[in-house]
Amino acid sequence: MRICIFIFLLIFSSFSFLNDSFSSRFPREYFHAKQILFSKLPLADSVCNTFGLKIKQVLPIALPECARYSILSDKIESSANYYLYATLGSSCGNFSIGHFQMKPTFIEQLEREVLKNSELKLFTFIHDYGKTEMDEETIRKKRLHRLESEWWQMRYLCCFYRLMESKYPALRLETEDEKLLFFSAAYNVGFNHSEKQIREWINRPSFPSGKIEPKKNFPYATVALEFSKDPQILNYR
């Protein structure tokens, strides 16, 4: 009898391991992200089309962030961030904002990359704040205002995608899944890291809780890939 029970538990644990996924381990968070996804599809489709991209290429990169997004904490962080970042800069205030959890420094980096990369001419608008003579505090306030917009966050995400294609042209020969894994890891750890560091991050289990509960974590890129296989994305239009 004990042998039968042992065999059953062994088979069950093996089956659970094989079917382990972010959606099965964190069903509430996955469902929360899917609700956000559903509300974004028409807007995301429109913005992606503007830059010759498809939803299934771009949106999954940031969808894991939607799984741990909290409206309450976002409002608290935005309030603190607005004052500290606007008046003192990124060294004093650099919090995540919105469903895609973008930071002001991420946008600053994108702006600098667009300025020096001729392949990103379609995105010159991201560093255009109107008047040529404008103090840095006013620019930072405008940048924060843009970050609070879903439309702007989607445009930034498309810019990030095209930037990564430009920085790593060899990836165009790889499969869409391989590109997604690399781009997602870069989005999570920071695209200013080296290619070696980004590739190492692809398999680093740090999401969603970082060092708080490491045993429950998945690699961020793996979660992004899981979202890319969701029927809502695959079957959209």
Token pair in block for residue 197: 């560091």
Within the chain, residue ranges assigned H as helices are 2-18, 22-25, 27-50, 55-58, 63-67, 71-88, 104-116, 136-147, 150-167, 176-189, 195-201, 220-228, 231-234
pLDDT at 81 over 50: yes
Q: What is the pLDDT of residues 132-178, one digit of tens each?
A: 667 888 998 899 899 999 999 999 999 999 999 999 999 888 899 99
Task: Compute CA 36 distance to the chain's CA centroid, rounded to the nearest angstrom.
Answer: 13
Token pair in block for residue 165: 């294609």
Average pLDDT over residues 48-65: 95
Q: What is the pLDDT of residues 20-42, one digit of tens each?
A: 899 999 999 899 899 988 888 99
Average pLDDT over residues 204-221: 86
pTM for the predicted model, two decimal places: 0.86
Task: State the pLDDT confidence band at 236, using cuts at 50, 70 and 90.
Answer: confident
Question: How far apart (Å, rounded) are the C-alpha atoms in residues 197 and 220?
Answer: 14
Upper half-sphere CA count for residue 130 (Cβ side, 13 Å): 9
Question: How far apart (Å, rounded) are the C-alpha atoms in residues 208 and 63?
Answer: 12
Q: What is the pLDDT of residues 219-232, one digit of tens each?
A: 999 999 999 998 88
The per-residue pLDDT for 6 is 35
Q: What structural domains does the chain harbor?
A: 23-234 (1.10.530)
The per-residue pLDDT for 173 is 82
